[in-house]
Amino acid sequence: GAGVSQSPRYKVAKRGQDVALRCDPISGHVSLFWYQQALGQGPEFLTYFQNEAQLDKSGLPSDRFFAERPEGSVSTLKIQRTQQEDSAVYLCASSLGLADGYTFGSGTRLTVV
Amino acid sequence: KQEVTQIPAALSVPEGENLVLNCSFTDSAIYNLQWFRQDPGKGLTSLLLIQSSQREQTSGRLNASLDKSSGRSTLYIAASQPGDSATYLCAVALPGSGNTGKLIFGQGTTLQVKP
């Protein structure tokens, strides 16, 4: 596609629910990142994929967070048993390579009530 | 640990002014630095990408400079317009093991340009 597509655009979850956030990167982009952005803050790194391999998950805040990219294209970020502190915008970015910069999606705004 | 700081946190200027946004980082071992724009409720739009070997990049009314040794970058906006109102984020890409290139962001500068 022309850009990075994320769905849903908005998600309201009751505390304790599981959620799944989807990212469609630009076709052919090897690298895929997930970031979490709290209100009024800069984005913070969650995890990184190179093709289907998850090479860095050091930013995932707890074992309730899980990400996958099974075929090296679409990625899903899953949050189990959501908590209020999980409320944030979740941004996905993709890149051809390190020297090429990043293209971000519009994000998914998650609100846990 | 790499930390990125942006000053000021907020800025309000009249239309037509030239302005400078500042970004500093604590570790000069970066792969590149990127400036983004974020409109309220939206994702990030890339403005300028400066590789670590470069000193500056220009796009239209925007000019970004990089001084890696002092850990600083500036974003210069010429002849500001109300449409420039947004939050501007600076981010450095870390080489890291495997060259993952993950980005470390500043907290952003929120710019308001008044007509």
- Interface mutation target, options A89, A98, A103, A110, chain B, most CBs of B under 10 Å: A98
Q: Chain B closest CA to A98's CA: distance in Å?
A: 6
Choice among A78-82, A100-104, A105-109, B59-63 with the minimum mean pLDDT: A100-104
Contact B45 A31 (CB under 8 A): no
Query: Cβ atoms within 10 A of the Cβ of A83, count?
Result: 14
Between A2 and B78, the more confident residue is B78
Q: What are the pLDDT digits (tens) for A6-42?
A: 999 999 999 999 999 999 999 999 999 999 999 989 9
Band (pLDDT 50/70/90 cuts) for residue B102 is: confident
The residue of chain A nearest to residue B42, with distances taken between CA atoms, is: A106
Segment B6-35, tens digit of pLDDT = 999 999 999 999 999 999 999 998 989 999
**Closest to A33 (Cβ–Cβ): which among B36, B51, B102?**
B102
Q: Do B20 and A82 meet the contact criterion of CB atoms below 8 Å apart?
A: no
Q: Quick check: B100 pLDDT over 80?
A: no
Nearest CB neighbour to B98, from listed A4, A55, A99: A55
Average pLDDT, chain A: 94
Q: Which of residues 76 through 105 in chain B touch A, CB cutoff 8 A?
A: 89, 91, 93, 96, 98-105
Interface contact B75, partner A, CB < 8 A: no
Question: How far is B43 from chain A, CA to nearest CA, in Å?
Answer: 4
Going from the C-alpha of A12 to that of each of A87, B30, B69, B73, the distances in angstroms are 9, 37, 45, 38
Token duo for residue B1? 């640990």
Tell me the residue ranges of DSSP E strands in chain A: 5-7, 10-13, 19-24, 31-37, 44-50, 53-56, 65-68, 75-79, 88-95, 103-104, 108-112
The predicted structure's pLDDT at residue B15: 97
Q: Please tell me if residue A90 touches chain B, with a CB cutoff of 8 Å.
A: no
pLDDT tens for A49-99 read 999 999 999 999 999 999 999 999 999 999 999 999 999 999 999 998 767
Rounded to an integer, the average pLDDT of B79-86 is 97
Length reported for chain A? 113
Q: Is residue B99 over pLDDT 70?
A: no
pLDDT at A1: 53
